[in-house]
Amino acid sequence: MSDATKKRKRSSESPAAPAPAPAPAANPYLAHMQADGPARAVPAGPGALKFRETTVKQAEDLEEGSTNPFTGEAFSEQYRRILKQRRNLPVHKQREEFLKLMHKNQVLVLVGETGSGKTTQIPQFLVYDEQPQQTGMMIACTQPRRVAAMSVAKRVADEMDVKLGQQVGYSIRFEDCTSQSTLLKYMTDGMLLREAMIDPQLSRYSTIILDEAHERTLATDILMGLIKRICRSRPDLKVVVMSATLDAEKFQKYFDNAPLMVVPGRKFPVEIYYTPEPERDYLEASIRTVLQIHTCEDPGDILLFLTGEEEIEEACRKIKAEADALAASAPSQVGDVKVVPLYSSLPPAQQQRIFEDAPPARPGRPAGRKIVVSTNIAETSLTIDGIVYVIDPGFSKQNVYNPRIRVSSLLVSPISKASAQQRAGRAGRTRPGKCFRLYTEKAFMKDLQEQTYPEILRSELGSIVLQLKKLKVDDLVHFDFMDAPAPETMMRALEQLNYLGALDDEGDLTKLGEIMAEFPLEPQLSKMVITSPRFKCSNEMVSIIAMLSAPNPFMRPNDQRKQADAAKSQFDDAQGDHLTLLHVYNAFVENEESPKWCFNNYLNARVLKGAVNIRRQLVRLMNRLNLPMVSPDAPDGPNYDRAIRKALTAGNFMHVAHLEKNGLYLTSKDNQVVMLHPSCCLASKPEWVTYHEYVLTKKNYVRTCTAISPEWLLELAPEYYDLDNFPECESKRVLKRLQAKRQSGRK
């Protein structure tokens, strides 16, 4: 119905658009907000090019021409050099096939293994085919990860010989690097989902590419559901679903038997070895296998998959010690090793070490070897060249939300067959490789599930439900999920949103819910921000939320734990971790965001810079929603932290634990025994705490805790703390007494 081509110019609307742009020049990411005249749409005379009717020949002629058709400037030397490489990518050979399929179909499923060039080339093929500068409609390519969105956008900007943020840009949560002239936009899947809330038909886009769909992130799954619906009302919208694995059938089926195109990857054969017997101790077996490969196999780097930081560090230590001992005892037969750990909480500089070369061979000795010991981030998100041997013990840590006790568990569990294949594939990137599976072939067949559970089955759905409601998806029971979540997970989401006041008892979005959906935050955090002006602490609350939305800012190197803890203690607040985060944020700003100051105080400057940016975006949102930014009247008064803690409680009342007489904390209603995380700054054990997250590992920890008063619970969340409808437990008795006291006091 809506002929999208009629919408000539994109409106400059974006979540933050109407805000008065304060000194926009200072922030390159806000370039799109500058009213600097019309975009530099260049005619470039492609008169012969017709929208979605171009040929490979036409495109290649343009690419090989002397001027860039999108900027009107001459192509650079670098461009020509890169163009040669691009022509060698496997996907280039199928450019014609791709265009034909795109011209004929609305949805295309494209399978291309790593190294096929699909992520960088397919969007460019479309740019030439659609000439977005003339239609005024963009091409979007979603990525599950922020880093990938940024780095691929940078690469493609180079390939197209344009400036990043101009014709090619990216958009990730809290960071928009696009402009009015942007034709091709790499973005996280979550960002496209947010845009759908403002623009339900996604009318700014002529084609949407869902990359890495096989990863089945929560946002990609929801997007597929939405796009399937939009496709019906927008026949002009084209969709490419790209996957790296061969399980494309599921996608084809979901999109009404969409055609499939397969692009071979640049892959070498990988020999797979199984153990004859199951291993009693997979860690010990991993170390043994590494050493065996090192002493017996040809040169080539090793990648070992383990489950977590602790295990990886232990393995690194042992491998290094044993390999050094071997090298010392037989220097003519055993080469040097470089053992490198890789996990997400590792500081970025140390993560870069995986790209270092293997140690050189010393005269008269065998070649050195690099051994990377990694979590499953090396399975998909990071590619390390030079890996020839992969060791796969068959485990990873999986994050699974359980709605019954409302806990996220981060537990070690067996991987899936698909995941095992992916791991094996890592050995064949540069030459034929070998993969050693530390389990039997029988166990592979019988004990491993086919696919890893998609994220939608493993996640808390609060903010997704809020977004779906905002998108006018009222029937969550029959929504066309590719994989539908457990009903109880949906119930918890609805319950949470109901108690927060975002949905009424009928499941309809309330006024408050509308506002809450504007924030790219978990619902309880949105609620805190929105109610904070009432407690006169919105300035503080926005800082705290920004800090909660950023990764952990505290650095704690293994060899300097004491110093790091001492540094952290300067910021500690007796009332809790949320306030500690606030102090860190304020100190960072007071010290003019100095990286040196951060370094001296064991703080991650990049994370804190990120928090400053997030805060800026949140403040803009607050302004747009007419929510005042205020601070308590007496910043030094006794009521300062009280106001903040109360505002926290207003959103977080479902995340509360009570200290029982026996010295244990029980979570409210679910009565789960929890412990304050060791990093918690609370010196004494307050009777009532609110926590940011409850994570089930080997121990039950609540993280980021702050002391609260039980009266606030009764005052701010009377529905949730309705004692007539509360499970029998000690906290109920305590609250009952308190309630009786309050009532008699009122009389």
Partner 1 sequence: MPGGDSGAGDGADEAEDFMSDAFLASLEAQAAAGSGSGSRSRGVTTYSQLRKQTVAKQRERGYNKPLQEQVREKLDDGLNSAIPETNIGFQMLAKMGYKKGEALGASQQGLTEPIKVTIKSDKLGVGVESERDADSRKRARTAEELARLDAEHERARHDFRGKMNQRFGDRRVESDLHKARAACQTMDERAGVAMHAFWPAHVVAHAKEAEAAAAAAAEVAAAAADASSADDSYGQDEIPGATASEPGIHPFVVDVEGEKPEDGPAGDSGHESADADQVEPDFEDLEKAEQLRQVNAYLRERYFYCVWCGAVFADADEMAQECPGDTADDHEEL
Q: Which is nearer to partner 1, 280 or 511 (CB)?
A: 280
Among 113, 175, 279, 301, binds partner 1 (CB under 8 A): 279
453 binds partner 1 (CB under 8 A): yes
At residue 458, what is the residue type? R
Question: How far is residue 674 from each of residues 579, 687, 746, measured CA to CA in Å?
Answer: 21, 13, 35
Comparing CA positions, the residue from 38, 457, 426 lying closest to residue 270 is 426
Q: Which of residues 678-707 bind partner 1 (CB under 8 A)?
A: 696, 698, 700
Does residue 475 bind partner 1 (CB under 8 A)?
Answer: yes
Tell which positions 79-98 bind partner 1, by CB under 8 A.
none
Q: Decide: is 149 part of the binding site for partner 1 (CB under 8 A).
A: no
Is residue 630 near partner 1 by the rule CB under 8 A?
no
- At closest approach, how far in Å is the CB of 474 from partner 1? 7
Q: State the pairing for strand pair 168-172/175-177.
A: antiparallel
C-alpha to C-alpha distances, 155 to 190, 193, 251, 385, 564, nearest whole angstrom: 21, 24, 28, 18, 37
| Six-digit token string for 572 | 């500690």
Is residue 337 within 8 Å of 372, Cβ to Cβ? Answer: no
Does position 281 interact with partner 1 (CB under 8 A)? The reply is: yes
What are the backbone dihedrals phi and psi of residue 324, each rounded to the nearest 5 degrees, phi first?
-65, -40
Q: Please list the residues that pair with 184 across neighbouring strands.
A: 139, 168
DSSP symbol at 571: T
Partners of 371 in beta bridges: 302, 339
When binding is defined by CB under 8 A, the residue of 412, 418, 587, 734 that contacts partner 1 is 412
Query: Is there binding between residue 454 and partner 1 (CB under 8 A)?
Result: no
User: Is 411 an interacting residue with respect to partner 1 (CB under 8 A)?
Assistant: yes
Single out the residue of 6, 84, 104, 280 in contact with partner 1 (rule: CB under 8 A): 280
Within 422-441, the residues that bind partner 1 by CB under 8 A are 438-440
Cβ atoms of residues 107 and 177 within 8 Å: no
Residues 6+ apart with CB under 8 A from 723: 732, 735, 736, 739
Q: Tell me the backbone φ, ψ of residue 705, rounded to 5 degrees.
A: -110, 145
Nearest CB to partner 1, comparing residues 430 and 672: 672
- 449: contact with partner 1 by CB under 8 A: no
User: Based on CB atoms, which residue is closest to partner 1, 96 or 447?
Assistant: 447
Q: How far is the CB of 454 from partner 1 (least distance, A)?
A: 11
What three-state secondary structure class fits 486? coil
- The footprint of partner 1 on residues 492-531 (CB under 8 A) is 492-496, 498-499, 503, 505-507
Options 488, 590, 593, 633; binder of partner 1; rule CB under 8 A = 488
Among 57, 84, 446, 746, interactor with partner 1 by CB under 8 A: 446
Question: Under the criterion CB under 8 A, does residue 655 sit at the interface with partner 1?
Answer: no
Q: How many residues bind partner 1 (CB under 8 A)?
A: 74
Residue labelled with tokens 């059938």? 249
Residue with tokens 């609540």: 702
Residue 479 sits in the site that holds partner 1 (CB under 8 A): yes
212 binds partner 1 (CB under 8 A): no
Alpha carbons 169 and 28: distance in angstroms, whole number = 12
* Of the candidate residues 309, 483, 687, 693, the single one contacting partner 1 (CB under 8 A): 483
Binding partner 1 by CB under 8 A: which of 13, 256, 310, 447? 447
Is residue 357 involved in binding partner 1 (CB under 8 A)? Answer: no
* Distance of closest approach, residue 221 Cβ to partner 1, in angstroms: 12
CB atoms within 10 A of CB 331: 14
Interface with partner 1 includes 284 (CB under 8 A)?
yes
Radius of gyration of the chain (CA): 28
The interface with partner 1 within residues 358-397 (CB under 8 A) comprises 393-395
Give 296 or 477: the residue with its C-beta nearer to partner 1: 477
Among 481, 623, 630, 679, which residue sits at the site for partner 1 (rule: CB under 8 A)?
481
Residue 477: how many CB atoms within 10 A of its CB? 8
Q: How far apart are CA 213 and CA 192, in angstroms?
A: 14
Q: Count CB atoms within 10 A of the CB of residue 357.
A: 10
Task: Output the DSSP codes for 174-223.
Answer: TEEE--TT--EEEEEHHHHHHHHHHSTT-TTEEEEEETTGGG--HHHHHH
Residue ranges in 103-122 that form contacts with partner 1 under rule CB under 8 A: none
The residue within the footprint of partner 1, chosen from 21, 197, 367, 405 (CB under 8 A), is 405
Q: Does 615 bind partner 1 (CB under 8 A)?
A: no
* Residue 486 sits in the site that holds partner 1 (CB under 8 A): yes
Q: Which residues pair with 341 in a beta bridge?
A: 373
Residue spans of alpha helices (H) in 667-726: 710-716
Q: Which of 109, 237, 285, 371 binds partner 1 (CB under 8 A)?
A: 285
| Per CB under 8 A, 740 contacts partner 1 | no
Stretch that binds partner 1, among 48-56, 369-377, 443-451, 602-610 (CB under 8 A): 443-451
